[in-house]
Structure 1
Amino acid sequence: MSGSLWLKPPTTTPALPAVPRPRTPEPGPGAGAGTGPATGIADDPLDELAVRLDAFVAAAVHPDEIAALLESDGMTDDHIRLTYGRNDSFALAEDLYARVRRRHPDPPRKAAGAPGWAEGLGGCLLRGLVFALPGLAYVLAGPLLAGAHGRYGLPAGTVPLLAGAVTGWVWNQALSHRAYTWLGLGDRPAAARALLTGAPAGALAGTAVALAAARDGELPAAVFAAGQSLYLAAATVLLVLGRERALLVALLPLLGALPALRWDLPDPLRAALPAVSLAAACLIAARALRPGTARGAAGRGGPPLAASVPYGLFGLGSGVLVLHAGLGDSLATGTGAVIALTLSMGPAEWLLHRFRGGSLARLRTLTTARAFRRAVTGTLVLCLGGYLTALLALTLAATLLWPGTPWPDPDRLLALLLIGAVLWLGLLLQAFGAVLGAAAVCLLAAAAQTLEPAAGPLAAGGAAAVLAVLSHVLLVRPTAHRP
């Protein structure tokens, strides 16, 4: 898998409405200190508050939404007790919820030129394709990296390649979070500046780790890992900035690997095709980063660096799980599994968008918390089932089309589907801001599978169950879906 696996944030994020405040009337001439209204608050302040918040309260499907609005406006429990006679924001929210009849605004009409669901699917499938195409570089370079001996029962050169790849996944997931945060703030030059400084640093880190992991006879693999790290940095830049089509153009020379699946190619051609793709990706990424060189880009205080660490840890856990899917009992079978997982990231991203869109639609149309919970649970099951169906279909297609790939046995196929469930649920939690839980579960599953490979299906199954429970607990709350 290459580049960023992030779910793109929405282009606009409307803030919660401010609680309107009643104006205090100006004292008239001659008004004394103890005469006339001093606050402008009606005889029943709760009725007045219900009128002022009518539109928001009517659209709420749970009192917690109203409580979140009150707290975001700075209403303390002391203020609520003194002004409204309720113990806290939750009690006040429950009374407001009971007083206002449920009404929901009509869904906004689709803007002219806005992409439909089919067009959104096409874009996500394009991202899945650019995740998978770099794998053809390994087909081309495989004979050039072959050595006499390997470690841990793996082919020669595998260890430095994996070390560089995992380093790139960790670094670029954290970098993607930081850049996407800048984009969410509407500061594209600052995002470009973050990528301009972070992407080369990630390429250097991946190269250094690969060189440190190389042993005698693995120098060609370490050099290839350096190119791999450079490509991961360039791909992250282009994917975060929405330049998927440009990245696809850069990867087109790798299609020259298709004849290599059947026939032997000259070594100079095997080396030239990945080099051309790498050079093209780097040049296109450098061009896309030119706004980051402008004076003042990222000049103001940005998101804290520590906020990006959990996303890097999630990249580490998910990356190790994918490696275990590809390095099982049979390397040939693992190749088909990794191809299916990388291609499935396109449908995965589309289904994540569909889940978010469907949940927001339910907020506009449902009038009770119970109906919302039931609808969101059904949507979650449907989207997860859709992703696993797509992953199964891609696995079977890769088995049929990839030369030398044996038919996966049921246990291995089950393990692959469980890993897929962990990845999709982890990305879902990450998209809703619950990245710490997703990262912790993925890291524990990856560590268990590393320490005891035979426990792989059990570890992945346990992780999938925990993430499913976390997702359900978080996402059946209406407040989790409010922008």
Structure 2
Amino acid sequence: MSGSLWLKPPTTTAPLPAVPRPPAPPPSAAPGTAVDPLDELAARLDAFVAAAVHPDEIAALLESDGMTDDHIRLTYGRNDSFALAEDLYARVERCHPAPPPETADGPAWSEGLGGCLVRGLVFALPGLAYVLAGPLLAGPQGRYGLPAGTVPLLAGAVTGWVWNQALSHRAYTWLGLGDRAAAARALLTGAPAGALAGTAVALAAARDGELPAAVFAAGQSLYLAAATVLLVLGRERALLATLLPLAGALPALRWDLPDPLRAALPALSLTAACLVAARALRPGLARGAAGRGGPPLAASVPYGLFGLGSGVLVLHAGLGDTLATGTGAVIALTLSMGPAEWLLHRFRGAGLTRLRTLTTAREFRRAVTGTLVLCLGGYLTVLLALTLGAALLWPGTPWPTPDRLPVLLLIGTVLWLGLLLQAFGAVTTAAAVCLLAAAAQTLEPAAGPLAAGGAAAVLAVLSRVLLVRPTAHRP
């Protein structure tokens, strides 16, 4: 399983093109009469008001501009910002920007499909290291009925997920501010700290006979740090190249390999990833790369908590009733992250297109709801196909049972909707729901289907309520 599973960049979009309409002429009044202040305001905000799908968008702009209700009553004779926004919406003719032109290969949102598929492979390939190292970690039955060494491995992985999710958010925030050197500096200080934290937790969780697993967990933590650096800085293909030695695990699925070769292939891949990451971080060594204060550290905490909740849910899906029954679930969930990311971009692109082409809030709500259903349905279809494919192709993986397959699809629903809400800024809500579901399943494993189903229902309702508002889709 790849600990870089949840390193998702914030969904970004280019600004809307200018509304293709001439500027509104300044209002004029008959001699001896004063110009209506509302006409002046309508002329000043003409382009924005013309592109609005709902008066609430205009009200949000007025409030962000510092207009209080007292000022609105004194200046414009309206009770509040909402009444003023409705008047402006009624006065200005609707005029939306044209959709962006399609490229020769299709619409603009399809351009990132190849990159998202590469990320899906990058998320999944590290799992081959477990195939290679499995015999080296073999030992007596571990705690909680798990195979030997499972506890330190899982402890180190979860620590890495939490730390690196928060770190990637902070670095992406710097990138969004246009300061790549500061992003590199944040990664230069945060990634090694995350590797040390994961190693320390794995060593603390190890018991007698689990030292080999703790050593492997240390390498796992170091890889997660390097992968975080390369994914955040957009070096997916370089990371993919460093993972090529793990292809040596494919013969190990059928034949026994010498122990030195089993150890050398993951070590070679880990070394290559660390060297490539170190090279990518060189801008962070420049003087002044630390930049100004930057985003507050507390802003990244919800992203780490989302990584914790979603990671624990995946662990429950992966452990299953036996390790074998869970292997296919982990493979499917990991590989599905590439298509999931593309569908997130697809949803965002469709929302922006609807803003440009629809003229009423009702039409917008209906269109966005349909797109949400289609994108979620597309992701679950991909997840189902990958689950069945893993059962067919991965040795030792049984066919998914009717009682576990719905739970896997519910967990997939939680993950995709959580990532969607995170992309639209509702990460605290998504993290809270995932943490509650993960805690319920940890305290009472038999409640897994109920916890996953409840979390999926809550996130579906929240997504429908929050994302049908036009203001949620404004760049």
Deviations 1:99-154 (A, max 9, x none): 11212121233589999544411110110100000000000000000112310000
1:46 paired residue number? 38
Distance 1:113 1:354, change over 3 A: closer
SS at match of 1:14: coil
- For 2:381 and 2:331, locate their aligned partners in 1 and report how far apart those are by CA, in whole Å: 15
- For 1:480 and 1:398, locate their aligned partners in 2 and report how far apart those are by CA, in whole Å: 37
- For 1:460 and 1:174, locate their aligned partners in 2 and report how far apart those are by CA, in whole Å: 24
- For 2:393 and 2:449, locate their aligned partners in 1 and report how far apart those are by CA, in whole Å: 26
1:348 to 335, 340, 343: 340
Distance 1:10 1:158, change over 3 A: closer
| 80-89 or 240-249, larger mean C-alpha shift | 80-89
Which consecutive unaligned segments of at least 5 residues does structure 1 have?
36-41
Report the CA distance between 1:4 and its aligned residue. Answer: 4.6
Contact 1:4 1:176 in 2 (8 A): no
| 69-78 or 442-451, larger mean C-alpha shift | 69-78
- For 1:190 and 1:260, locate their aligned partners in 2 and report how far apart those are by CA, in whole Å: 42
Contact 2:441 2:447 in 1 (8 A): yes
Distance 1:384 1:28, change over 3 A: closer
Question: When the two structures are superposed, what TM-score results if normalisation uses the length of structure 1?
Answer: 0.92
2:73 to 81, 102, 108: 81
- For 1:266 and 1:152, locate their aligned partners in 2 and report how far apart those are by CA, in whole Å: 31
Distance 1:432 1:422, change over 3 A: same
1:38 paired residue number? none
Contact 1:7 1:431 in 2 (8 A): no
- For 2:132 and 2:20, locate their aligned partners in 1 and report how far apart those are by CA, in whole Å: 65
| 101-110 or 315-324, larger mean C-alpha shift | 101-110
Deviations 1:377-413 (A, max 9, x none): 0000000000000000000000000011111111100
Contact 1:6 1:176 in 2 (8 A): no
Report the CA distance between 1:298 and its aligned residue. Answer: 2.2
Contact 1:130 1:247 in 2 (8 A): yes
Distance 1:16 1:50, change over 3 A: farther
Distance 1:438 1:372, change over 3 A: same
| 382-391 or 113-122, larger mean C-alpha shift | 113-122
- For 1:65 and 1:434, locate their aligned partners in 2 and report how far apart those are by CA, in whole Å: 18
Report the CA distance between 1:333 and its aligned residue. Answer: 1.4
- For 2:438 and 2:28, locate their aligned partners in 1 and report how far apart those are by CA, in whole Å: 76
SS at match of 2:403: helix
2:378 to 383, 386, 393: 386
Report the CA distance between 1:91 and its aligned residue. Answer: 1.3
1:436 paired residue number? 428
SS at match of 2:5: coil
Deviations 1:292-323 (A, max 9, x none): 11000122120000000000000000000000
Distance 1:94 1:5, change over 3 A: farther
- For 1:107 and 1:20, locate their aligned partners in 2 and report how far apart those are by CA, in whole Å: 12
Distance 1:205 1:33, change over 3 A: farther
Contact 1:164 1:209 in 2 (8 A): yes
Contact 2:55 2:89 in 1 (8 A): yes
* Structure 1 position 339 matched with structure 2 position 331: yes
Report the CA distance between 1:80 and its aligned residue. Answer: 1.3
Contact 1:144 1:220 in 2 (8 A): yes
SS at match of 2:400: coil
Question: For this pair of structures, how many residues does the alignment match?
Answer: 475
Report the CA distance between 1:28 and its aligned residue. Answer: 22
Distance 1:259 1:52, change over 3 A: same
Distance 1:117 1:369, change over 3 A: closer
| 75-84 or 277-286, larger mean C-alpha shift | 75-84
- For 2:260 and 2:59, locate their aligned partners in 1 and report how far apart those are by CA, in whole Å: 66
SS at match of 2:243: helix
Report the CA distance between 1:43 and its aligned residue. Answer: 2.7
Question: When the two structures are superposed, what TM-score results if normalisation uses the length of structure 2?
Answer: 0.94
- For 1:470 and 1:254, locate their aligned partners in 2 and report how far apart those are by CA, in whole Å: 41
Distance 1:28 1:384, change over 3 A: closer
Deviations 1:176-228 (A, max 9, x none): 10000000000000000000000000000000000000000000000000000
Report the CA distance between 1:230 and its aligned residue. Answer: 0.2
- For 2:29 and 2:370, locate their aligned partners in 1 and report how far apart those are by CA, in whole Å: 62
Distance 1:115 1:206, change over 3 A: farther
2:246 paired residue number? 254
Distance 1:275 1:144, change over 3 A: same
Contact 1:171 1:312 in 2 (8 A): yes
- For 2:392 and 2:141, locate their aligned partners in 1 and report how far apart those are by CA, in whole Å: 30
Contact 2:149 2:213 in 1 (8 A): yes
- For 1:53 and 1:197, locate their aligned partners in 2 and report how far apart those are by CA, in whole Å: 45
Distance 1:446 1:31, change over 3 A: closer
Which consecutive unaligned segments of at least 5 residues does structure 2 have?
none
CA RMSD, 1 decimal: 3.9
2:315 to 323, 346, 359: 323
Deviations 1:66-101 (A, max 9, x none): 111112222222221111111221111111111112
Instruction: Give 1:58-207 correspondences, 5 Å limit.
Output: 58-109=50-101, 116-207=108-199
SS at match of 1:258: helix
Contact 1:7 1:352 in 2 (8 A): no
Question: Percent of aligned positions with the same letter in both sequences?
Answer: 91
Contact 1:314 1:438 in 2 (8 A): yes
Distance 1:278 1:27, change over 3 A: closer
